[in-house]
Every structure is written in C-alpha cells, then in structure tokens.
Chain A
Amino acid sequence: MTRLPARLALAAAPGLVLCSCRGVQTMLDPAGDQARDIDVVWRAMLIVCGGMYLLVLGFLAWALWRARRPAPVGAPAIGHTPAERTLERSLSAWVALIVAGLVTLVTISFLVDRSLAEVGPQPLRVKVTAHQWWWQVDYDGSPQSQIVSTANELHLPLNRPAVVELQAHDVIHSFWAPNLAGKVDLIPGRTNYVAITPRRLGGFRGQCAEFCGLEHAKMAFDVTVESPEAFEAWRRSQLAEAQVPTNAQQVHGQQLFQTKACVMCHRIQGAEAGGSTGPDLTHLMSRRHIAAGALRNSRGDLAAWIADPQGVKPGTTMPRVPLTSDELNDVVAYLEMLK
C-alpha cells in the first residue's frame, strides 16, 4: 500500500520543483507585467508540448509492448503491409495535430510579443550602461542636477511602467532580471530598450546573461521594487551630496581616497573625486552588495574587497591599491559613512 503514494510523490516531484519556486532570480515567480505575460507563454508551451510528448511516449510504449506478440517467422516485410492504410491515416491525423498545436503556440507567442513592446503612460526612464563587469545606472532627470547616478542597483516604484535604456561600454552584455522581464542585450554602438512594470514589492536580483569575459559569472545587480513614496525618498537621498567626514579617522580616510589611485576611477559627489570609469560611490552604503553582487556590503567584505580585489574577482579592472592596515581601516571608515 505504501508503494503507490510513494510513486505518486515521485511523479509529482518535477511538478513541485517547477511550481514551488519562489525566488529572487527566477522566471517561475513573475513579479512584473512582462514576466507574467511570458509566464503565460511558458504555461501554454508546457501544456501543448507536454501533451505532444506524452502522445509520442504513449505510441512508443504501445509499439514496445506490441513487440512481445508472437511473431510469425518469415521473410522481412518490404513495401506495403496490411497495416499500411491505418498507419497512413494516423500519420495524417498526427500532422494535423502538430499543425494545430503550432498555430496555437505561434499565435500566443505573437500576441505576447506585441504586449511586451507596449509601454504604459508616463514611464520612468532609466539608463543602464554595462561595463566589464558592473552596471552603471543613471536615472533621467532635468535639469542635470536631478540625474541620479548609482551602480549595480535599480530602484523601481511599484505599478509605474519603467523603460530601461540599455547601452554597453565595451563588449556585449545582457540585462536580465527574470522575475520582472525577459533579457535584452546591451551592444556597443547600439541602444536597446526593455519595458518593466513591477507589480510586487520586494527585492529581486538580475545577472548578466551574455558571456562577457573573465568575470561574466560575477556581474549581478539588485532590483528593489518599493512604494512610490519610498522610491521618491530614495531618489532624493541619492541626489544629496556625500556626507562630510566628521572624525579624524574618516578625514584621513578621505585624504587617502583622494590622493591614492581610488580617485582615478570613482566619483564621490561633494568630495574631490570625479573619476568615471568605476561605480559612483557617493551613496555606497545604501547598496546591498558591492563588486556587482560579488560580496555583501558589510564592513568586513568591503575591507576584503579593497585589500585584494583580484582575490575576490580575478581579472576585475579594480587594481590592488597598496595600503597599510591602518590606512585600509581609515579608508573603510570613510566609505562606511557614505550612506
């Protein structure tokens, strides 16, 4: 008696694996209009293709079962056999079934594809520029002082359509946050767009999906979907200049930052740091991760990252800047106040 439930559980296992799949980087748990529309295609595909597969397997099983019948010994069957007519009719039916299935799927696919190209009213405009191996994020604003610049992190207000403008600085990358929308490539010399209409509050994760070299595996970004009020508050806080160091350690850290190689690449608004080849650090500590998702944004990880970037992310363009341990502490103390 215990065998049947066990078997059923086994048979259901793949289904469970597919359905109980809540997560921050999965297409099976859509949290935006675009991902939800694609989920419809996925379900239709699963039903139609799954049905066809079962038919094929059923026919195959029948043929294998039938092989056990006692066979008359004799010459091989060449040309037509008595079953030929039956088989020909079945083939015609099979072809009709395939055509019907394909027409259904093409139609659904076409309609959903059209819906993906549509953008709702008054969209939020964000520009994402991919670099080897991090994401530069700039929120549209006018005048220019209203432009918010950050890195490896996207904040989106709930229910408001957003259009993400995609460009690449070096090689081809692909922007993909599966809970929200399908992926679109970022190609040097071209501009692509992806529309996202988030419908659920929460934190999601995206990752580069086009092989882009050494650290392709460590090129992720966070997406935070929040209420319009929270988004507006976040936007304002990002527009502010960086905080001014208060204690001696922080002041020394800032001096180090501004005199060592750091300043060649990073920008800190309000300090004398205007580099543009690396991420903007003005509000570094407001982000969940550093090094494009490679590490959590904690004091320890931040220190480890600065002390030896090549150990954390071999090949990253961030060099190891020689610092004594005291100097490292001071720099970290300075960065830690960039809320």
Chain B
Amino acid sequence: MTGVAEARALTALDVDGEQALARTWATPRGLWGFLTTVDAKEIGKRYVVTGLAFLALGGVLALVMRTQLARPESGLISPDRYNQIFSMHGTTMMFLFAVPIMEAMGLYLTPLMVGSRTMAFPRLNAFSYWIYLAGGVMLYVAYLLNIAPEAGWTAYVPLSGPEYSAGKRTDIWAQMVTFTEVAGLAAAVSMATTILKMRAPGMSLARLPLFMWSMLTTSFMVMLAMPAVMLATSFLISDRLIGTHFYNEAEGGSNLLYQHLFWFFGHPEVYIIFLPGLGMVSEITATFCRRSVFGYPVMVLSLLSTGFLAFGLWVHHMFATGLPHLGDSFYTAASMTIALPAGVQIFCWIATLWDGKPRFATPLLFVVGFVITFVAGGLSGVMLASVPLDLQVHDTYFVVAHFHYVLIGGAVFPLLGGIYYWFPKVTGRMPDEVAGKWSFWLIFLGFHLTFFPMHILGLRGMPRRVYTYGADMGWADLNLLSTLGAYLLASGLLVYLLNLVVAARRGWPAGPNPWNAGGLEWATSSPPPPHNFGATPVVEGREPLWLPGEFPVMHGLDVEHREVLLTTIADGKPDIREGSPGPSIWPLLSALAVSLLFIGSIFDEWFLVWAAIPVMLCLIGWFWPKSSHSKLVKAPDDKIPGALA
C-alpha cells in the first residue's frame, strides 16, 4: 500500500491481559472442542463451508439437468429422476445454500463488525448449525435412498398431497424445510439481538455498517416469513400422515391456501437471500473506492423499505390462479414499487464508484458484475409484476432466467465477492489475484451465456420443469448454448474454490487490514483471536479505521470470565456487563434429539410424543443454572475507563 495513508489500527492490551482473554474465550482442543464450541467464528466458518458444499451439490445437479436439456428428446435421465433432480436443485439452493450461507456470513462477521466479543446467544448459534446440518444430511441421504422430493421446491398441493405423491418423498421435503427454518430462526434471533444490543460503545444506529443494517433487516424478515412456510409444510405433512384436510378441497380445505402460505414466505425469502448481498456490496464498494458509500441514509431507508414491501407482494406468484383482477392490480403496483428502493441503491453504488478512486481487485469486479446482472434481473422482475405479461411468461424459462439473474446476480456475485473480501480476515492469508480475476470472468461470462438465452426460450414458449422437449419446437440451439454456458460457469466456480483452498494453506500473510478498509472487523488481527478484540473499541464514525489519530478504546470487561458489554439500542451507550456461556455439548445433544423427533415423525406420528422426552431432557441440561459468572452487573458509565459519557 505504498503512497496510501495507512488506516489506523487498534492497540493491543498488555500481554498478560491478552493471554488471559485468549484462555478465557478459547475453544477446547480436539474433537470435544469441535463438538462443544460456541465461538461464533468457528460456527460461522463451518456454516459457510457447509453452505459451499451444498452449492457444489446443487451445482452438480444443475449440470446434470443442463446436460439432459442440451438436445431435444434426450434419454439421458428418466422423467422421475429428472423431477427429483430439479426438486433437489431448487430445495438445495434455496434452503441449504442461499439462506444459510448468508446467515453464516452474518454469524461470523456480526461480532467483529459491531465490536463485540461474541454473539448474543452463542449456544443457540451452535444449535442452529447442528440442526441445519442434520436437515441437509437427511435430504441427501434420502436422495441416495431414492426418496428425495419430486414435486419441485414449491411442492404445490395436490401434487404433493397424499393422493398424488405416495411414499415418503414429500414428507422428507416438508421436514427438511422445518429443519432449515428452525436453524434460520435461531440464527436470526441471535443476530438481531447482537446487532441491537452488543455494539461497541459509540456505535449508534447512525454509525452501523450497511452490511449490519442489511443483516438486521434480514433477521426480522426471517422471523416474520419463516413461520408461514413452517405452517404450510406442517399442514402438508399432517394432511399426508394423520389425515387432516387443510388442503383437501373435497372436505372444505383449499389448494390455494397452500400457495398463499408458501408465497407469503417465498417472496420475502428472495429478499432474505439478496439483502445481505446488498450489504456486502456496500462494504466492498466503500473499501475499494476509498470513499464511504454515497447516500448512507437513503441506503438504510431502501433496505428497510425493501424488507417492508417484501411482505406485500406474494400474490404476483399466483396471477394465473384466477384470483380477482382488481386485487391482482394492487399486487402489480406493490411489486413494481420495489424497483424504487432497488434503483436508489444501484444509483448510490455507481455514484460511489464514480466519485471514489476505485481499485479493481476481484471483490470489486464481482460488484460490477452484480450491478450489470442484478439490474437486468430486477427489470425482468418489473415485467413479471404486470398481470397480463406474467400470464404469458409465468412458469416459463423466462422466469427461470429472471430468478437466476436476481439470485445469482443479486446474491451469489456479492457473496463470492464478500467471501473473497473477508477471506484474509478469516484465514490470515491472501487469495491469489490472478486466479481471482480468472474466476470472475469465467463466472460472469458463463452466467450470462447460461441464463440470457433462457429469456428467449421462455418467450418462445418453453415451459419450465420439463424433462425434455420436441426437436420440432426450435429450442435446441439456445438450450445447447445454455448448457455450454453452464459448464463455463461451473469451471469458474471451480477456479474460485481452488483458489481459496490453495490460499488457505499457502497464501501470503494478510496482516490485520490488507485492503486498508475502514470497518471495525479490520481493527483486530487476522485471523481474529477467540475474544475478537483485546480492548473494546470505541467508535467515533461510520468507518472508524479511516479516522485520523489514536484509536480510542475502553477497558473494564473481565478478562478471567466470559463477559460482554451490552449497549443501548439507539445510541450505543455502555449499559450492562453480562456473562456469556462457555463451550457446551447441550446444543449438539438437543439438535440430535430434535432431529430424532423430526425424522421419526415422518415414519410414525407417535414420535412427536415420545421423542419430546429426550428433547425436554436436553433442554433441562442446557438451561441448568450455572453458578459462576452469569450475573448482570449494572455498570455506571463513569466506572468504565474510556467509555463515552
């Protein structure tokens, strides 16, 4: 970084204090430590790696589908297998990759970005990971046993109901949803609490990093949206297993009820996936343009209003079901309104690029790719919001193209940029820039080659979810092009992942702040110590590391016990010192007990009753009162040296 003013850094505690803190917050060694850790960084890393593994699995499934569709009347895979594969692909990408990996990034980064020692509910985070892993493993074991879901990731009734989806396939799907939603809710509660109550002193809401704003919004959306889908799938599974009639038209139930419940979750779900991506884009843009993001207040308002509006437009997935026209028009208007906050944010990022001094490292390339792709996806979304036009393109490849533009462009590109950007912080090593740029160009070009032709296929009448098509339909060339693009995209992802794997072992040492960024997470060493920060940083601006002068810190938290500082919600004033739990096996045992209940209930409803006993025992163990330090200490501001008055 020759010739550029270095960002300031946090001064360390004295050696004794640092060592004591590291001992206090350390994860035990070995397998026991692996199973009992409550360190948000450990859990976050695990979550991200598992999420990437599911991305790879879902990606392989996508390649199989693309290979089948490369030519007309291909007999490579049977319709039954194909239907399982596309259902698995969607389910994997939505429930096991996209949402969890975004929450995982939040789990790892939240304490570092708000300047806290750990997350609010460390054991709940561990539980969240184990439950998520159990759900994912169950789905793939079912796939190997040929009982994987077959009714699409949306599993509409009555196709997924007891009459038309015999066997256990849909039950597996429904319970897998429950697993991942429990995991998601646990992580969301923990994240929102951490962001609202555990920020470093001085970090008022007006100084909250934009990525934290996006995670906060996302967390609340998770809490409001996910219960709807759990309700939908629980009704479904009880219709299938114990003969209720929630969705049985003949008995006064309703097919459309399922769709309403599902999309009341399903639409916000899309924003749950890409809002964290938008936050990452803001962080990356600011760092590589060496300029704070233009229009911070409107950025925050845009995030919040997107989260708010997200709950008012689910019906645009149901325009073809014959709902009343006037009602449909309301959802057209509401859906199009989303373009406003999205357009404002796009403007602000480009304005930041325009006014700053951008350096085109790999993360910023992903941001540029994001803008080009996401805006195209957003505009095709505006088209889909129109009732008449939607009646033509709904359920065609146009929609497939649209949501891949939005989800890959809006969430995966920022995620890949974000993982690359924070990789030095997590591992202490730098990825290779040449490989990074290669991976970007392969992914970017491969993506557009794969998905742009799908728009045209949809307009030319190709419905989605078909395992083959006739040679006389004229769809063969574009499908072949799309398949070639998919291979290119996959090769780019392979280069990207290999780069990270190699860099994790052999990359150049990164130092605390390799990008000269301004966020608090760069104030500590790379990788961060178990306790994150020696002394608690005191925050004086939105980019605390870019401010001149000494970095102010605050002392006074116990070094011999796990203790965290709680601050006030709006102003971030020091409020309370509170204990934080240490390593525990109970989250894992509880997750196992809950898994027994969930999986057992697929095969016998009485598991709901007697598997509740181990769950109860585990929770008793979990909440058994600890004698040591988990007590509240009301600390008057003036007793904490360095604290803001």
Residues of A within 8 A of B (CB): 14, 17-18, 21, 23, 25-28, 35, 37-38, 41-42, 45, 49-50, 52-53, 56-57, 59-60, 62-64, 66-67, 71, 73-79, 81, 83-84, 87-88, 90-91, 94-95, 98-99, 102, 105-106, 108-110, 112-114, 116-117, 132, 170-172, 174, 176, 178, 181-185, 187-190, 192-193, 205, 207-217, 293, 314-315
A79-B358 Cα distance, complex, nearest whole Å: 17
Taking the complex as formed, is B343 at the interface, i.e. its CB lies under 8 A from any CB of chain A? Answer: yes
Identify 15 new A-B residue pairs, CB closer than 8 A, beyond the known A90-B347, A216-B467: A26-B460, A27-B392, A60-B353, A63-B350, A76-B291, A78-B541, A78-B543, A95-B340, A98-B340, A102-B339, A102-B340, A108-B386, A114-B325, A211-B464, A216-B463
Cβ contacts under 8 Å, A99 to chain B: 340
B164 close to A26 (CB less than 8 A): no
Bound-complex Cα distance A76 to B391 (A):
50
Contact A25 B386 (CB under 8 A): no
The stretch that binds A, out of B13-21, B76-84, B237-245, B598-606, is B76-84
Set B255, B353, B548: member contacting A67, Cβ < 8 A: B353
Query: Are A182 and B392 also in contact (CB < 8 A) when A109-B332, A189-B250, A208-B463 are?
Result: yes
Q: Which of B3, B340, B469, B473 has the most CB of A within 10 A?
A: B473
Residues of B within 8 A of A178 (CB): 392, 461
- Contact, CB under 8 Å: A60 / B350: yes
Residue of A nearest to B393 (CB): A27
Residues of B within 8 A of A102 (CB): 336-337, 339-340, 382
Do A98 and B83 touch (CB < 8 A)? no
When distances are taken between beta carbons in the complex, the residues of chain B under 8 Å from A53 are 375-376, 379
Tell me, in angstroms, the Cα distance from A209 to B541 when the chains sit together.
Answer: 54
B400 CB-CB contact with A under 8 Å: no
Q: Is the pair B392, A37 in contact by a Cβ cutoff of 8 Å?
A: no
Q: Which residue of B lies closest to A56 (CB)?
A: B375
Give the distance to chain B from A250, nearest Cβ to Cβ, in Å. Answer: 31
Name which residue of chain B comes closest to A57, CB basis.
Answer: B372
Query: Within the complex, what minimum Cβ distance (angstroms) separates B346 from chain A?
Result: 6
> B152-160, B269-277, B412-420: which one contacts chain A?
B152-160
- Given A25-B473, A102-B339, answer yes or no on A49-B460 (Cβ-Cβ < 8 Å): no
As a 0/1 sequence over residues 539 to 571 of chain B, the CB contacts with chain A under 8 angstroms (1 = contact) are 001110011100000000000000000000000
- Known contacts: A91-B298, A172-B156. The answer to whether A183 contacts B392 by CB under 8 A is yes
Chain B: interface residue total (CB-CB under 8 A):
94
Closest A residue by C-beta to B452: A14
B391–A182 CB distance below 8 A: yes
Most buried by B among A60, A76, A132: A76
B504 — which chain A residues lie within 8 A by C-beta?
A: none
Question: Does A91 contact B344, Cβ atoms closer than 8 Å?
Answer: yes
Interchain CB contact under 8 A, B383 and A45: yes
Bound Cα distance A49, B356 (Å):
28
Known contacts: A18-B456, A217-B466. The answer to whether A188 contacts B357 by CB under 8 A is no
With A25-B460, A42-B389, A213-B164 as contacts: A185 and B344 at CB distance below 8 Å: no
In the complex, A273 Cα to B469 Cα: how many Å?
Answer: 33
B474, A23: Cβ atoms under 8 Å? yes
A113 B156 Cβ-Cβ under 8 A? no
A144 to B164, CA, bound (A): 33
Instruction: Tell yes or no: B637 within 8 A of A by CB.
Output: no
A to B CB contacts below 8 Å, 8 in the list: A23-B461, A45-B389, A59-B354, A106-B336, A108-B386, A187-B322, A190-B256, A209-B320
Instruction: Rank and list the top 5 A-B pairs by shortest CB-CB distance, nearest first.
Output: A182-B391, A189-B249, A217-B466, A25-B461, A63-B354
CA distance A51 to B83 in the complex (A): 38
Cα A250 to Cα B385 with chains together (Å)? 56
Chain B residues, CB < 8 A from A45: 382-383, 386, 389
Q: A78-B542, A174-B320, A183-B320 are in contact. Are A41 and B386 (CB under 8 A)?
A: yes
